[in-house]
């Protein structure tokens, strides 16, 4: 992997990742951009203890532009974008409209009030462009290119984890308008949080309870149990296992674990990294075949999904296991799983598809 770093016109960092030495990198960004004004803060919910990010300045962010105005495509033919070079393999840059930023100012007022705890929204938000091809998708990448994305995720996890005040690094992709994606170009994001996310905090709590009750690691026991029960297993490799969780929240939800417990992407071995692209691409391609009738002509309709890497936080993260959670909000070809009163109001999920049925379907659509 070749890593090339440069700066955008407003001072934000841009990093190119190439599989070999590129012919050229580092074209100047000629746009007349002003330095971003970040005003993020995090507020603690006194009732639940969860941190909520308030980033009102993001209302002005780019929203569903036409393809010929996409800010993630390369700069070509006199049209300037967030990527100054005329082509790229994988590119990562600081978000122009970040939820969290290193220079976020301290909030005013309420200091020392336990019911109104607020802190500066420090951290970092990055955009990961998977390919320069606007019409492509992660599932359409070849294994070498998918490995390059994995290397970029790993690089950013290592660097962002070392920033002062960063508690957790979260790499993810939102795909599809149904999910709420505002840019159609194949891309993901990375958040460097100054706190452990609420879902991670619950995992830490459950892992501690399991250790106290059994003396064993929760995630190792969970993976052993799923590998021993083929009903929900979707895909197995020498180094990775994919399964539908016993208590899946979403109609089609797959968790992908390395067979050896590690805390984050930086701890994977070369053998684990080498196998990942093939396994992950197969899962994504199966998702795109989920809602196509057997024997149907033509390509499958792209399935909207969220793909989320869960990595251990800096504090109390020793028991957690790196894993990826992939799920779609689509429950049939023409129906979406909306988060209505029960889910949104009480965080109590009701799943319309049994996990065993979902796993069977995901096995049926194997390549």
CATH number of 199-364: 3.30.428.10
Closest-CA residue to 196 (of 90, 340, 300, 50): 50
pLDDT at position 33 is 94
CATH class of 2-195: alpha beta
* Number of C-beta neighbours around residue 122 at 10 A: 23
51-54 β-sheet, strand order: 51-54, 41-44, 118-120
pLDDT digits (tens, 9 = 90+) for 316-366: 999 999 999 999 999 999 999 999 899 999 999 999 999 999 999 999 999
- The pTM score is 0.96
Does 187 qualify as catalytic in the annotation? yes
Q: Strands 187-193 and 323-328, how do they pair?
A: unpaired
Measured distance CA(162)–CA(299) in Å, rounded: 43
Is residue 67 a contact partner of residue 184, using CB atoms and an 8 Å limit?
yes
Of the two residues 185 and 58, the one the predictor is more confident about is 185
Catalytic, out of 187, 239, 255, 323: 187
Confidence of residue 63 (pLDDT cuts 50, 70, 90): confident
pLDDT at position 294 is 61
Q: What is the mean pLDDT of residues 227-255?
A: 97
pLDDT at position 296 is 61
In the chain, residues under CATH classification 3.30.428.10 are 2-195, 199-364
pLDDT at position 300 is 61
């Amino acid at each position: 992997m070749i890593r090339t770093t440069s700066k955008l016109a407003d001072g934000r960092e841009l990093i190119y990742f190439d599989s070999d030495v590129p012919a050229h990198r580092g074209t100047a960004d000629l746009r007349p951009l002003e330095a971003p004004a970040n005003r993020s803060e995090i507020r603690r919910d006194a009732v639940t203890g969860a941190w909520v990010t308030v980033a009102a300045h993001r209302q002005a962010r780019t929203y569903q532009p036409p393809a010929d105005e996409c800010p993630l495509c390369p700069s070509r033919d006199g049209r300037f974008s967030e990527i100054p070079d005329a082509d790229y393999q994988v590119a990562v840059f600081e978000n122009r409209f970040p939820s969290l930023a290193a220079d976020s100012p301290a909030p005013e007022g309420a200091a020392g009030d336990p019911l109104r705890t607020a802190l500066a929204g420090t951290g970092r938000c990055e955009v990961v462009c998977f390919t320069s091809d606007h019409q492509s998708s992660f599932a359409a990448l070849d294994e070498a290119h998918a490995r390059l994305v994995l290397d970029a995720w790993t690089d950013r996890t290592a660097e962002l984890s070392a920033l002062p005040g960063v508690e957790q690094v979260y790499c993810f992709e939102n795909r599809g308008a149904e999910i709420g994606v505002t840019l159609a170009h194949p891309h993901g994001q990375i958040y460097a949080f100054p706190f452990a996310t609420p879902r991670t905090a619950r995992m830490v709590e459950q892992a501690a309870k399991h250790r106290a009750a059994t003396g064993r690691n929760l995630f190792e026991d969970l993976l052993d149990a799923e590998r021993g029960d083929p009903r929900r297993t979707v895909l197995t490799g020498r180094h990775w296992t994919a399964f539908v969780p016993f208590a899946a929240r979403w109609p089609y939800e797959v968790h992908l674990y390395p067979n050896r417990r590690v805390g984050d992407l930086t701890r994977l071995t070369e053998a684990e990294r080498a196998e990942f692209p093939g396994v992950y691409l197969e899962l994504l391609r199966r998702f795109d075949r989920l809602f196509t009738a057997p024997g149907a002509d033509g390509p499958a309709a792209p399935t909207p999904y969220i793909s989320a890497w869960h990595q251990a936080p800096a504090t109390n993260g020793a028991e957690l296991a790196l894993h990826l959670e992939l799920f779609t909000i689509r429950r049939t070809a023409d129906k979406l799983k909306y988060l209505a009163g029960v889910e949104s109001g009480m965080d109590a999920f009701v799943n319309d598809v049994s996990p065993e049925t979902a796993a069977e379907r995901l096995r049926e659509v194997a390549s």
